[in-house]
Chains A and B, each alone.
Chain A
């Protein structure tokens, strides 16, 4: 199947809903205010007593502090965030992970759970065998433990729910679209599990039946067809929400999934631009109905 569309056939998606007021959107170099007496926060700069924006985003004002929150930026880490990272380097007593931040994040050897219990002392043999646990290209789910002076994040996987990720599908979205929630690990009713990293990496995998992914054992068996369909559909729903700049959290993903099933779309139809727009509109309508 080949689908070719003309650019003029694609109508734009209106990001802001008709009933809500558009927020104060600015672009780099645009004037925010001429009044003095404001403190300038991130994303702003002062020139000739006027406050200008240096990024494209939404103006946020907290009392006297004006800052601009960019719509698309690198991940800015906070302690306690759940992130998903890919190992890029194995060095002495630490792994370097790519987490879509400005610097590679660091996973220290003493911050991971090794087989044999948590209180085992890290020996020289552990150091030499690091590559057997995590090598370049592996995906890990972890939590931010600490932030170094230069801004690099220090991660840890000292809990059974974190660890090396097995079979599944990774989607990269902008970090600003991931909402902060109590838990970022969800077992969805459609037969797949989802991990929403605060750094914009969303991991969809088949639901694990044994508890915890904290070990380093990987399950390489074939995933059943029904699970695979659920994973593909979820992947397309998340990509559709990200393209329409809607917040991604478990409720919005499930609304999009249900909307796509109710409308009878095939999984590969969700890649088409007009279907993406329809799904986003249906999710938005669902939210408006729930509010009433």
Chain B
């Protein structure tokens, strides 16, 4: 993440604030900064979402393509992730500087979505062993304002919620080659069941306490933390430790429990908002003009 210089006194101020449960901007240790969400703003993608978490800005686009399934999982479709840290986000991402972070986030996404609890990939299968849907999820990090993992996962979940997969029927079997018939109606689509897609909670340890949604200054004060991916049914699908400091096993267990509670709340609120957006009558896209 972005390197910020802080003086010793500022770090002490942040430490004492965390102990007091009153951070610099008035939040408690378990509060998130305001999140602004919009889906469906990229018209040539099957699904898209833009999420702003204070200063962090993430844009996700999902494209669906037909392909043959992998030989060891013939009954399932695939999800492919690609993360790009734009050089606009912060000066450290200039040139190839953002590649390490992009690869880390990408690998964590793959691990979190690998569990069968999150997404039922059999829904993406068309013809077992021959044709399936592949969802290419492209994530673009436009601005880095701390807590990129949380913002990215929420944006990915929103984009997958908004993804519309065209209806496809298997027509006649022409010898060995099946013919696939795509529906003429562009609105004849189906959506995935995204109830259980994971949301991530980043918990950074400062002193004897840990906080949710750290700002870049707070990230600089902390030496260790964990990133927990929590699915919709409160199961933890992946955990990653970040930072160079060490964690006591007891604090790790309590952090995991807090992470799973907070993750469940985030999932619930996000699903409510996504449903609200789907039911909106007018489709005035705000996009990037504001």
Contact = CB atoms under 8 A, between A and B. Distances in A.
B173 interface: no
Given A268-B31, A271-B33, A271-B34, A165 B25 contact: no
A6 B270 CA distance: 10
Interface size class of B (residues with CB under 8 A): 35 or more
Contacts of A266: 26
Contacts of B67: none
B63 interface: no
Contacts of A8: 38, 277, 280, 284, 286
Interface stretch (B2-10, B72-80, B112-120): B2-10
Interface string B264-277: 01100110010011
A2 interface: yes
Contact of B32 (A2, A6, A267): A2
B9 A88 contact: no
Contact of A272 (B9, B24, B34): B34
Interface in A214-228: 218-220, 222-223, 225, 228
Contacts of A166: 9
Interface in A49-108: 86, 88
A170 B10 contact: yes
A268 B26 contact: yes
28 contacts: A1-B28, A2-B266, A3-B269, A4-B37, A5-B35, A5-B37, A6-B38, A6-B276, A7-B36, A7-B37, A7-B286, A136-B5, A138-B7, A167-B13, A168-B9, A223-B16, A228-B20, A232-B24, A236-B25, A239-B25, A267-B26, A268-B28, A268-B31, A271-B27, A271-B33, A271-B34, A273-B34, A273-B36
B129 interface: no
Given A6-B37, A169-B13, A228-B17, 16 more contacts: A2-B35, A3-B34, A5-B35, A6-B276, A10-B36, A138-B7, A139-B10, A167-B13, A218-B8, A222-B19, A222-B20, A223-B16, A228-B16, A231-B24, A232-B25, A235-B24
A129 to B, nearest CB: 17
B270 to A, nearest CB: 6
A12 interface: yes
A3 B276 CA distance: 14
Contacts of B5: 86, 88, 136-137
B171 to A, nearest CB: 40
A181 interface: no
A137 B7 contact: yes
Nearest to A1: B31
A155 interface: no
A17 B27 CA distance: 31
A251 interface: no
A270 interface: yes
Given A1-B32, A167-B13, A232 B7 contact: no
A270 B19 CA distance: 22
A30 interface: no
A229 interface: yes
A7 B38 contact: yes
